[in-house]
Amino acid sequence: MKKFFSFFRFPRASKVVRLLSGMFCTMADIFDAVLFRMLVPVSTGRRGSAIIGGYRVTGRLGGGRYGMCLQAEDSEGRRVVLKRFRRGMWKRNAVGNHYEAVILSGLSHPAVPELLGVINDRSGYYFVLSQQPGITLKSWLFDRRKSFSRAEIYRIGTQLFNVLVYLHSRSVIHGDISLSNVMDDGKHASLIDFGLARYMSARPESGRAESDAHASGTGPQSRPGGSHEPETAVIPDCGGIDLDHARLADVLLYLMYSCDALTRQPGKVRGGSWELGERTAKNAAWYDELALTADQLGCMKRLIGLARPYASTTEASEAFRTVFADWQ
C-alpha cells in the first residue's frame, strides 16, 4: 500500500495523470461532437435543417478547441451566428464562461458582434451573435491566396485601430486579435470572437492601460453592465493595451508579406500559400525583409514591443495613420 501511494509523489505520476486527463477530455469532446451531429443535422436546404431556439441552422462556419460556430437564420431570414460551446470545455471553464457575454452586452460598435441572446438547448449552450460581413483574413490569405495592396492594408489597419480605440475606451482588452478573428468584406473590417476578452485591471501597470479610458471618461468606474459586480469580469494583469497592439501588428505583418510591393523578394512559398515564417534570407528579420520607411519600421516596432510602447491606443492609431498615410 505504501508503494502504491508513494507512486504519486514522483514527477512521473503527475505526467501520467495529465496524460490520462487529456485522453479523457479528448474522448469527452469526441462524444460531444458525435452527439451534436446526431441532434443537430446541419443542412443548407430548408428541408431537414435543424431548429435551435427558433433559429434555422443553415451551415457550419468553423470550430476550435472551445466549440463551433453555426450560421443560422431567424424567422424573418436575418442571418445570425450560433456560437456553441463544447460541454467539456464549458464545464472546465465554468469560472470564465460569462466574460464574453458580460463584455459584449456592454458594447455597441458596427465592427463588433452584437449579443442577441443565449440558448440552452438539449444539443448544447449557445450565444446568439450578429453576423459580421465578409470572411476572415485567414481565409483571404490561405484559402483564396489574396495579395493585399498597400491601400487595403492601410484601410484594414485604420479600421481595426478604430475598433481598438473604442474597446480600450470601454476598458476592454480583446486579447486574441488574429487572422482568424478579423472579418473583412473588401470595404469594412470587423473584430470577432471575444472569448478571451477581459476588462482592464483596476490598477494597470504604470497607469498606461487606462489612458484611453480616462481620455473618454469611461474608465472602470463606469464600466458597462452595471448589474454585474466588477470583479466578475476583471482579470488583473491581463496584458493591457500592449497585448492588443502586438497582436494587431502581427496581423498587419501577415498582410504586408502578402504584398509583393513590400517584399524585397516575392514572399510566396511552395504551394502558393503565404507564410510569415519563410525568410528570403537565412536568419533575416521582418524589418530587414519588408520595404518600409524608417518611420514605418519605428511604428511597427513600437506596436510589437521592440521599442518603447505607445502610451495609449489613440496615440498608436494616430501614429499609424501618419506614417502610413502615403498608402491610401
Pick the last residue of a domain from 111, 130, 149.
130
Same domain, 149 and 118: no
Q: What is the pLDDT of residues 155-176, one digit of tens each?
A: 999 999 999 999 999 999 999 9
DSSP string, 70-110: EEEE-TT--EEEEEEEPHHHHHHTTTTTTHHHHHHHT---T
Return the C-alpha cell found at 190. Answer: 470587423
The Cα–Cα gap between 259 and 275 comes to 12
Same domain, 321 and 248: yes
For the cut 80, the answer to whether the pLDDT of residue 52 exceeds it is yes
Grade residue 244 by pLDDT with cuts at 50, 70 and 90: very high
Whether residue 6 lies inside any domain: the answer is no
3-state class (DSSP) for residue 198? strand
Same domain, 179 and 288: yes
For the cut 60, the answer to whether the pLDDT of residue 327 exceeds it is yes
**Least confident range of 50-59, 82-91, 99-108, 277-286:** 277-286
- The better pLDDT of the pair 270, 71 is held by 71
pTM beyond cutoff 0.85 = no
For the cut 70, the answer to whether the pLDDT of residue 11 exceeds it is no
Who's near 206: CB < 8 A, 6+ residues apart? none
**Least confident range of 27-36, 136-145, 247-256, 286-295:** 27-36
Same domain, 42 and 26: yes
Answer for the pair 255, 137: CB distance below 8 angstroms, yes or no: yes
The structural domain count of the chain equals: 2
Domain encompassing residue 235: 135-327
For the cut 50, the answer to whether the pLDDT of residue 284 exceeds it is yes
Residue 190 is predicted with a pLDDT of 97
For the cut 90, the answer to whether the pLDDT of residue 120 exceeds it is no
Residue 309 is predicted with a pLDDT of 96
| 291 C-beta neighbours (distance < 10 Å), count | 11
Pick the last residue of a domain from 130, 147, 179.
130
Pick the last residue of a domain from 112, 130, 148.
130
For the cut 90, the answer to whether the pLDDT of residue 220 exceeds it is no
83 labeled part of a ligand binding site: yes
- The better pLDDT of the pair 7, 114 is held by 114
Domain with 21 in it: what CATH number? 3.30.200.20
Same domain, 86 and 171: no
- The better pLDDT of the pair 8, 257 is held by 257
Same domain, 126 and 182: no
